[in-house]
Amino acid sequence: MRQLRLFIAIVALGLPAWAVAAQALLTAKELDTLSKANAVRIVDVRDAQAYSLQHVPGAVSAPYGRWRGPAANPGQLPSLAELTSLVQELGLTPETHAVVVYTGVDSSDFGSAARVYWTLKMLGLKEISILNGGLATWKSDGFPISNQPAKVARSSYQPSMNTSMIATESEVLTKIGDSRTNLIDSRPAPFFTGRVALDSARARGTLPGAVNIDSDLYFEPGSAALMDKASLEQEANAASLKPGGEVIAFCNTGHWSATEWFVRSEVLGQSYVKLYPGSMVEWTQSAKPLPMMNEPERWAQLRYKLMTWSHRNLGTKAP
């Protein structure tokens, strides 16, 4: 029955009948067509209060925090038991076409959808999409909203983690200096250069040999929707990467880097792209100090910390 509904939706979208694989990115119009055919499960990753006020009709609520680790290291994956309970609660199975919806405020906001998409794929779902531009685009395109919570039947799906999509701390350590591995730091430049850091990070700087590609570059200025494929490819190829090599994307907590992973793996179809979910917070919290690059000298770290405090509390220039 689901296959029939999906076929009807595909025909309505004007796509060839063989185009049954889910598109990584959907427009609001495409989502509306699929939703009317009852061919998708819409997963809203905004916070519960925002969901209760307005959401895409039929969407189920699964706040981003439920897909993340503890406050000390949000990039850490929840346990398999916790993730299993969540996907079952949402009625998801490998055959379900899940569409992730985020708010659509800015490029960083997209990272929440990309991280949830990555998690779902890592758990074995085969048909996943993101509403490009999020709820903001849905509303601006004139589609209706609802404040009625959706109820779905719980699934019995028992996922397992596809570890080939995950870069662990120990693996990343072995990849430093590897001639076939590209380490991509998806953070804004001040993080990469060591001028700023999250409070939960115990050191400043980046991984040795990393290349900095700010994930914001994949969006038009002020936009929360990814650019077209040609523009994404141009930005992805702008950095001098090792040709044909494996890519490991990281940031502070596996949020911005989820966008890097999504662009390369799901939109551009590149192979051997992994996400390091714990990223720099996990790396710098390691019991044994791990190698760093761009780590300021101690006096410079103290100066940057003072500048950060002054910026946050007195409104002075950012470090």
What is the residue-wise DSSP string for 243-283?
A: TT-EEEEE-SSSSHHHHHHIIIIIIS--SSEEE-SSHHHHH
Q: Per-residue pLDDT averaged across 11-23, rounded?
A: 55
Q: Total structural domains in the chain?
A: 2
Domain extent, residue 109, equals: 2-162
Q: Which residue has the higher pLDDT, 91 or 244?
A: 91
Same domain assignment for residues 42 and 26:
yes
| CATH for 31 | 3.40.250.10
Residue 301 domain-assigned? Answer: yes
Q: With respect to residue 291, please indicate whether it lies within any of the assigned structural domains.
A: yes
Structure tokens at 138: 């849905």
State percent of the chain over pLDDT 90.
83
Confidence of residue 244 (pLDDT cuts 50, 70, 90): confident
CA atoms of 131 and 97, how far apart (whole Å)? 12
The pLDDT of 288-299, averaged and rounded, is: 82
- Angle of helix 2-12 relative to helix 28-36, nearest 10 degrees, comes to 140
> Could you give the CA distance from residue 131 to residue 27 in angstroms, rounded to a whole number?
6
Under a CB-based contact definition with an 8 Å cutoff, are residues 298 and 287 in contact? no
Assigned domain for 217 exists: yes
Is 39 in the same domain as 63?
A: yes
Per the domain annotation, does 319 fall within a domain?
no
Which of 162, 184, 211 corresponds to the end of one domain? 162
* pTM (whole model) above 0.85: yes
Final residue of a domain: which of 112, 131, 162?
162
Say if residues 22 and 127 touch (Cβ distance below 8 Å).
yes
Given a cut of 80, is residue 302 above it in pLDDT?
Answer: no
Please identify, among 116, 147, 162, the residue that sits at the C-terminal boundary of a domain.
162
- Reported as a pLDDT band with limits 50, 70 and 90, residue 7 is very low
Q: Is the predicted pLDDT of residue 278 greater than 60, yes or no?
A: yes
* Residue 56: pLDDT over 80: yes
Residue 64 lies in a domain: yes
Whether the predicted pLDDT of 12 surpasses 70? no
- Rounded Cα distance between 146 and 244, Å, is 46
Statement to judge: residues 175 and 293 lie in one domain:
yes
28 shares a domain with 71: yes
Q: Is residue 184 part of a domain?
A: yes
Higher pLDDT, 64 or 6: 64
Is the same domain home to 106 and 214?
Answer: no
In this predicted model, what pLDDT tens digit does every residue of 116-169 receive, in sequence order? 999 999 999 999 999 999 999 999 999 999 999 999 999 999 999 999 999 999
